[in-house]
Amino acid sequence: MPNWAESEMSVVLPTENADKFEKLFITNDTKEEDRYFARCFLGNVERQENKHGLTRLLIHFDAAWSIHSCMIDGYPQESNGKCPTLEEICKELKVKRLLAKSREPGIGFEESVSYDRKNGLAEECHDLYDEPDYDELDDDETLDDDNQAEAE
């Protein structure tokens, strides 16, 4: 069973391609013969359109393991063409720009993915920053603990 990367993506593209992009995320209506992003399950979508024929989709989804393995390198290459890569889709659907991020608390990392026509696809991944909620005071902790650690 995979760990889930809680993910969100903002994508700006021609309005005529917005439905095609949205349908690449798996829902209860996805059929076996459909093309889709590997192991990316749609949560909800917000849509904004302008008078110049562009649409911005804000997509919330869960990716099994990571955006990288589901949309960039891993599952797409193992799917025999059924699951496209994110970069293929950005070019095919004339995406103007894309920004995505995910957070996977099980293993403890987060990702950032961006795309624009000039620079193509870029991604970063790093360990999660420490959570202030989990910083606890130890019953035996003293002010001098830091000095003892430095001396050792």
> If we measure between CA atoms, which residue out of 10, 30, 148 comes closest to residue 83?
30
pLDDT at 32: 87
User: For the residues 1-19, what does the mean pLDDT come to?
Assistant: 94
pLDDT at 151: 55
pLDDT at 130: 82
Residue 122 CB-density burial (10 A; 0-12 exposed, 13-18 middle, 19+ buried): exposed
> Hey, what CATH topology would domain 4-151 get?
Alpha-Beta Plaits (3.30.70)
| Residue 149 pLDDT level (bands cut at 50, 70, 90) | low
Domain ranges of the chain: 4-151
The more confidently predicted of residues 140 and 81 is 140
The more confidently predicted of residues 89 and 136 is 89
User: For the residues 105-110, what does the mean pLDDT come to?
Assistant: 91
